[in-house]
Amino acid sequence: MKEFTGRARGAAARNASMTPEERKAHAQKMAEARKERAKLPKATHTGLLKIGDLEIPCYITENGERVLSGRGMQEALRLVDEESSSGQKPGSRMDRFLNTKSLNPLIYKGRMPDHFRPMKFQFGSQTINGYKAETLPEICEAMLEARDLGMLDTQRKQIIAKQCDILMRGFARVGIIALVDEATGYQKDRARDALAQILEKFVAKELQPWMKTFPSEYYEHLFRLYDYPFPPESKPQWRPQFFGNITNDVIYKRLAPELLPELKKSASKAEKRGKLHQWLTSNIGHPKLREHLASIVTLLKLSNSPEEFKSLVDKVHPRFGDTLQLDI
């Protein structure tokens, strides 16, 4: 008898627990879902729109529609880190933002109700949710108008507006360059990613304080090792307080000698303290941090207990001044 593994094992167990009538209904439902997917437009081209350290997956569908990844747009607008007590999944934050009562008149502004509705399309075997590319600058325009009208009544809205200001100025600069290139015929000779590089260089420095530096995997595996549900059910952005001590130990104390005290000193002098990694230099500190984080995440994945993780970190990344313990 064939032995199933992974998802196939779960599907086989679920199938075995069903009655014949339930299996038939389930098969019909799956067949209908496949028919619906077959009707979806297909992406013919794909790439990454780079904005500073942000990367927004982008696509061209077979009907010529330019589409941006919904999750990528959320990150660009700083919606991903928004705390919510509603228990909704992160993918719905764009929809909730677009339907904020106070901003709704500015965002829609005479547009049809379905103008910002996410569109589904196929890319390979994946079904992807995205938004028409032009909706990103439209959202930015609405947020900047809200700022001019004094409607940004929360810190979250102010952060989003700041992102929109940076993005719109970057888009404007790239837009005028693209128009000149098209008028002169230079667009045929320029490097394939020249416009993307211009946007990235212009925006990168201004976006740096808002970059999402620590990957979700880092916290996901810390939650696993300490037996906490991930993501937390009651408050998606909640983390145990002692995670900060772990981060200081496995990250900042092992990046460079005496780094942690200096970062804390810089943060304490600032009007808004922010996060420690925002005080690292962009040319050396941040690249080194990302490299170190990638290694730490790998060690987290390999560990089955907090003790095993600590032991691996001590072996691979000993603190400065510690003597490496060798297995003999």
Using CB atoms within 10 A of its CB, is residue 251 exposed (0-12), middle (13-18) or buried (19+)?
A: buried
- Give pLDDT, residue 125: 76
- Give pLDDT, residue 93: 81
The residue type found at 75 is E
Residues 118 and 266 in one domain: no
Using CB atoms within 10 A of its CB, is residue 270 exposed (0-12), middle (13-18) or buried (19+)?
A: exposed
What is the SS3 assignment for 309? helix
- Give pLDDT, residue 50: 75
Residues 52 and 195 in one domain: yes
Q: Rounded to whole angstroms, how far apart are CA atoms 196 and 192? A: 9
- Give pLDDT, residue 29: 76
- Give pLDDT, residue 90: 44
More reliable by pLDDT, 204 or 318: 318
Q: Rounded to whole angstroms, how far apart are CA atoms 100 and 255? A: 42
Q: Is 266 within a domain?
A: yes
pLDDT tier, 265 (very low <50, low <70, confident <90, very high otherwise): low
Of the residues 150, 185, 207, the one at which a domain ends: 207
More reliable by pLDDT, 304 or 174: 304
C-beta separation of 152 from 161 below 8 A: yes
pLDDT tier, 326 (very low <50, low <70, confident <90, very high otherwise): very low
More reliable by pLDDT, 328 or 283: 283
Tell me the average pLDDT across 137-148. 93
Of the residues 162, 186, 207, the one at which a domain ends: 207
Sign (positive/negative) of CA torsion 43, 45, 50, 51?
A: negative
Please name the residue ranges forming H helices in the chain. Answer: 6-17, 20-39, 70-76, 93-98, 104-108, 135-148, 155-184, 194-207, 216-225, 242-247, 253-255, 259-269, 285-302, 306-316
Residues 302 and 198 in one domain: no
CA dihedral 278, 282, 285, 289 (to 10 degrees): 70
Q: What is the pTM of this model?
A: 0.51
Sign (positive/negative) of CA torsion 209, 215, 220, 221?
A: negative
Residue 303's domain spans which residues? 216-316
Looking at residue 113, the DSSP 8-state letter turns out to be T
pLDDT tier, 181 (very low <50, low <70, confident <90, very high otherwise): confident
Domain count, the chain: 2
Q: Rounded to whole angstroms, how far apart are CA atoms 12 and 157? A: 47
Please name the residue ranges forming H helices in 18-117. Answer: 20-39, 70-76, 93-98, 104-108
pLDDT tier, 310 (very low <50, low <70, confident <90, very high otherwise): very high
> Which pLDDT tens digit goes with each residue over 82-115?
444 444 454 568 888 888 888 988 998 888 878 8
Q: Is 321 within a domain?
A: no
Residues 167 and 242 in one domain: no
Which range among 6-20, 220-234, 270-284 shows the weakest confidence by mean pLDDT? 270-284
Of the residues 207, 225, 258, the one at which a domain ends: 207
Residues 192 and 247 in one domain: no
What is the SS3 assignment for 221? helix
What residues does 66 pair with on adjacent strands?
A: 60
pLDDT tier, 317 (very low <50, low <70, confident <90, very high otherwise): confident
Tell me the average pLDDT across 222-248. 81
- Give pLDDT, residue 31: 72
Q: Is 61 within a domain?
A: yes
More reliable by pLDDT, 137 or 175: 137
Tell me the average pLDDT across 29-53. 77
Residues 172 and 264 in one domain: no
Burial 65-79 (b: 16+ CB within 10 A, else e): eebbbbbbbbbbbbb
